[in-house]
Structure 1
Amino acid sequence: MPRISIYLLFGMFLCASCTKNFEELNATHNAPSSTTIGPLINRIDSSLFLGSTEQGSIHNDYYYPITQLAATTAFSAFVLSNGVNEIWNNYYSTLQDINLVQDKINAVSDQESMKNIQAVLYILRAYKTFRMTDQFGDIPYFKAGRAYTGSAASFRVAYDSQQLIYDSLLSDLSWAVKNINTAANPVTGQGTAYQTLGSFETVLGGNMAKWQKFANSLRLRYAMQMVEKDAATATPVILDALNSSVGFLGDNEDICMWPASLGGYDLSSRWFSFSTGGTGLVRMSSTMWNLVSDNNTDAGIFDPRAKLFVEPNAAGNWAPYTIGVSSGDNINAYTYASTDPTNKNGCLFSLINWYLIRDEWYIPEPIMTSAEVHFLKAEAYARGLGVGQNIATAETEYNAGITSSVNFWYKVAAGTNTTSENWAAVAPSAPTTLEMQAFLANPKVAFTGTTADAISKIYAQEWLSYFRQPWLAFNLSRRTGSTPVDASSNPSATYTTFYRLPYAQDEAVNNADNYNAQISKMGGNNTNYKVWWMK
């Protein structure tokens, strides 16, 4: 299949063709209202991929150094506003597709027959909207994404509070959990067969039991996200999710965008984001290194994920970069490496594993992993959130989270064996049972000490598990203020007071009155303004 720029894919809406397995199926360029639900859902699915500029200008330049998951030796040639525009345009073009699907669901006479499709739509909308509002704060939502109706009121929409958006999305997810029908061939009370998405549902392949678990897992994620700010609302949701017979995403049920299962889709945006415009300046942070190794030798490494996440510098040494302290190494370490993973262009500090960012055909983009679910449950039991405090159960979930994360990344490495990126041939072997036991017993990892110590370790391991999901590490850092920090680091105010993305520049022109009303409440379109759920 020819390479398709994901940036362009995200920009397409009314003039875009519908896709099946993200290959062209049928064009509805001039009449999007005449398309059917399946192609629209498929297009919503395709919008879940990360944008190239989003990764280059926001993840690499901000989220990695802010969270200290990784470091950058200098800002890239990408511009923050371009990454913001990419996220903003992707969301609002997709919201129109979502609303079109909702209109079509509403038009069906036997509404029960649409319950499973309605649930999938609610889950997709919740995932995308939570991710959007977490990055920006208040956003246009309840009346947004309906310009296709032609109503003048739909073109310039007011901003809605993040708290109200959270409440609405959690309600939608609760509905999905309770109303998904997992029977093989469900029939309504009127005798109508439930409608399905068939092959158009490319994320989970129509597995409604897994969609149900995904919805319940998202409830736990976002109830935990808001618990510091609104415990009265969040705590019952946490309890209900934990007690639900549906359960959560289990081991090997990770929700990801797997290019290999989508008709050989090419994730060129990943490599582009690290190799173009000077963004090869990302390095292994001393903060991350301190959590996986006792010193700068191979023998000091105790976390089996270390050699999957990062690699030695050009001299073959483990050399962590201390944010705000280390200097030099303004070298684009990845432009050379289209075919040669050993040529590191003379970089002085360790960098992100070449295979992890180079592969375009197999390595997934994680959306929600079973490791995350285990860590969220561990925190709930360690803190007694929604349930009675139970340190033993917290420890079980904590160890399960670490193990699940290790297994996930070794599965990825072992499966990456394309001709040009044969990671499987060079990746270390998966750790043995004895090696995992030794890892979990390491003083930096072992679930020992006070309850506060235990909670701190939960946050640390959850933070590390987000190595390729830096937006979630950013959420965790803002929510708890307790993610790992290297005491030797000296980050600039650019990083220490960056709490949100600025609104897209077009809003000041195309939605001026509502935009001005919103930023007047915030004291400007500032990145140091805290989103609602922050401490």
Structure 2
Amino acid sequence: MNYSKKLLLYISGVTLVLGACTKDFQEINTTPGLPVKADIPPLVNGVIKTLFLKGQEQAAIHNEYYYPVTQLGAVSTLSSGYLVQNGALDVWTDYYSSLQDLNLIQDKINAYSGDKTEMNNVQAVAYILRAYKTLRMTDQFGDIPYFQAARSYTGNTSLYRPKYDSQKSIYDSVLTQLVWASKNINTAASPTTAAGKPYATIGSSETFFNNNMLKWQKFGNSLLLRHAMQIVEKDPATATPILQYALSGIPLIEEGEDVGMWPANLNNYVLNDSRFWSFTSHKAMRMSNTCWNQMADGTAPAQIFDPRVYIFFETNQAGNWAPYVLGSGVTDISNPYQDKRDADITLKDNTPFSAFNYYLVRDIHYQPELFMTAAEVHFLKAEAFARGLGLVKDMGQAAVEYKAGITSSVNFWYMIAHTTNVQNDNWAAVAPANPTPAQMDALFNNAKVAFTGTDDQLLNKIYAQEWLSFFREPWLAYNLWRRTGRTPRIGNPDKYANFNRLQYPLRESIDNMDNYKTQSDLMGGNSTTVKVWWMK
């Protein structure tokens, strides 16, 4: 497979799809005085199209590091040949390209000479996209160029090589913008200002939420909850009032509103195959014994108590459940992710260990690239109740949210299995039936899951189930581990010890030499052992 050519075709295809939608952007023209009438919508959609995960990002960062670091997965070989720096360069380049578009959007909003209220919804969308992209970026790298970055289009030569900004200052700015978006977004069908003028709208070509301002508001509010919780230990003065606001009853993501790049919501757009490529090319991803031990009491089928096992993983070539034991040093270079399995699903390349479910990594037709789920919101609420963060401590309500989070995660993944159609094999036709009430009772009553024990033990169970719910969002499991240090672990293999951040790409030391050196000296070196600002 020539992945580079496929990626190029994919980018070109998306560009054509987005670039051909100008007639659908005319709604924005209804607001007189927009700086340039039809340019904000394609810029917004230009940012949205960067939300797709990149191939190297998934293979070199997620599979090679985030899965084994968090122990959600295991790597069955000493070296896959993938360098984390290659994935970091993908993420870095992608972010600054989208930041330029975000800056251009902001310039045009700032230049509007009419009633600024007319631009509130456009501004809110821009702030929410900026927040998602920027917080994900800084959470992975730490301090980054931000306030002066991606502004070379202005012609101001002093901005060609931007200085690095502290992660705290970036968080302060972006969270302030998210609060503004939450309070100023207008969710009415056809909002107007006090003077009766219509709000500017991005138009019907906004395919992420189809211009549904309530969904944008819920996403932004849920991001507030996620990131305020992320910094509450480090900066309670900033985080606490935001947590109080986020938990005050404002709209948050609910069941069936899981946010991501859903092909069905993109005019049934067929995703590029970077997800599948990252597995078949990397080939060494296996089920870890840490993850298995949170879902089963042994390797016999009757000892499985978490029904998500059947969605996340598959048996080995011999038909047995066989987790890879972390730290064992055993090497398995078989490749159970080859596309020959499209013709015969049983061809697992004689792997002795359980791999990730082939259907799960193969699908490009339905399964979304997730950003935030209803399950995560439940677990964040459970933690808030359990710790008394942003509201009064209440272990009873923590239990309610904890159970709701597990239920939401189980239901979500079974819905995916029953709806997804991979290229040549219909997963829905062979997926296990939805868990019965008896199966769910077995899950909730298992000693590893049951909401019993000391307050400290209960908090560990909340973290363990949130960690499991992030199975296909390993960067969030990585954040949770770095924030709490309390996600399930069995030992800590040397390769992954103190892997606390992504390194700045080498090109920064050339393209932005002076500022890179200043930042590197400040941190004591551009090392993965340096902790990001909010890390425990």
The alignment's TM-score, normalised by the length of structure 1, stands at 0.93
User: What is the SS of the residue equivalent to 2:283?
Assistant: helix
Instruction: Give 2:80's aligned residue.
Output: 76
Instruction: Give 1:66's aligned residue.
Output: 69
User: What is the SS of the residue equivalent to 2:192?
Assistant: coil
Q: Look up the equivalent residue of 2:319 and give its one-letter code.
A: G
**Equivalent residues of 2:444, 2:450 under 8 A apart:** yes
CA-to-aligned-CA distance 1:303-329 (integer Å, 9 cap, x gap): 011110001111111000111115021
User: What is the SS of the residue equivalent to 1:341?
Assistant: coil
Offset of residue 106 of structure 1:
1.6
CA-to-aligned-CA distance 1:164-222 (integer Å, 9 cap, x gap): 11111110110011001011111112322111112221111111111111111100100
Structure 2, gaps ≥5 residues long? 24-35
Instruction: Give 1:497's aligned residue.
Output: 498
Q: Look up the equivalent residue of 2:484 and give its one-letter code.
A: T
Corresponding position: 1:533 with 2:520: no
Instruction: Give 1:212's aligned residue.
Output: 217
1:224-239 correspondence runs (5 A): 224-239=229-244
Corresponding position: 1:424 with 2:425: no
Corresponding position: 1:242 with 2:244: no
Q: Look up the equivalent residue of 2:389 and give its one-letter code.
A: L
Inter-partner Cα distance in structure 2 for 1:88 and 1:9: 21
User: What is the SS of the residue equivalent to 1:351?
Assistant: coil
Q: 1:5 to 1:49 in 2, by over 3 A?
A: farther
Which of these residues, 390, 403, 412, is aligned with residue 399 of structure 1?
Answer: 403
Offset of residue 35 of structure 1:
6.0
Offset of residue 490 of structure 1:
4.9
Instruction: Give 1:282's aligned residue.
Output: 285
My pick for the range that moved more, 335-344 or 424-433, is 335-344
Structure 1, gaps ≥5 residues long? 28-32
- Runs (4 or more) in structure 1 with deviation over 6 Å come to 3-6
Q: 1:20 to 1:178 in 2, by over 3 A?
A: farther
CA-to-aligned-CA distance 1:121-173 (integer Å, 9 cap, x gap): 10000000000000000000111111111210221000000001111111011
My pick for the range that moved more, 84-93 or 72-81, is 72-81
User: What is the SS of the residue equivalent to 2:165?
Assistant: coil
Inter-partner Cα distance in structure 2 for 1:438 and 1:334: 32
Instruction: Give 1:297's aligned residue.
Output: 300
**Equivalent residues of 2:22, 2:38 under 8 A apart:** no
Inter-partner Cα distance in structure 2 for 1:76 and 1:343: 21
Corresponding pairs, count: 518
Which of these residues, 42, 52, 56, is aligned with residue 39 of structure 1?
Answer: 42
Inter-partner Cα distance in structure 1 for 2:331 and 2:317: 14
**Equivalent residues of 1:143, 1:157 under 8 A apart:** yes
CA-to-aligned-CA distance 1:79-129 (integer Å, 9 cap, x gap): 222111100000000000111111111222221111001101100000000
Alignment root-mean-square deviation, CA = 2.0
CA-to-aligned-CA distance 1:283-303 (integer Å, 9 cap, x gap): 000000000001101111110
User: What is the SS of the residue equivalent to 1:517?
Assistant: helix
Which of these residues, 452, 459, 473, is aligned with residue 455 of structure 1?
Answer: 459
CA-to-aligned-CA distance 1:259-302 (integer Å, 9 cap, x gap): 232132323110111112xx110000000000000110111111
Instruction: Give 2:155's aligned residue.
Output: 150
Q: 1:9 to 1:520 in 2, by over 3 A?
A: farther
Instruction: Give 2:122's aligned residue.
Output: 117
Instruction: Give 1:359's aligned residue.
Output: 363
Q: 1:9 to 1:91 in 2, by over 3 A?
A: farther
CA-to-aligned-CA distance 1:499-520 (integer Å, 9 cap, x gap): 0000011110110000000000
Instruction: Give 2:412's aligned residue.
Output: 408
**Equivalent residues of 1:20, 1:42 under 8 A apart:** no
Q: 1:86 to 1:320 in 2, by over 3 A?
A: same
**Equivalent residues of 2:63, 2:285 under 8 A apart:** yes
Instruction: Give 2:30's aligned residue.
Output: none
1:100-499 correspondence runs (5 A): 100-108=104-112, 109-244=114-249, 246-263=250-267, 264-276=269-281, 279-335=282-338, 336-418=340-422, 420-486=424-490, 489-492=491-494, 494-499=495-500
Inter-partner Cα distance in structure 1 for 2:341 and 2:160: 46
Offset of residue 6 of structure 1:
8.0
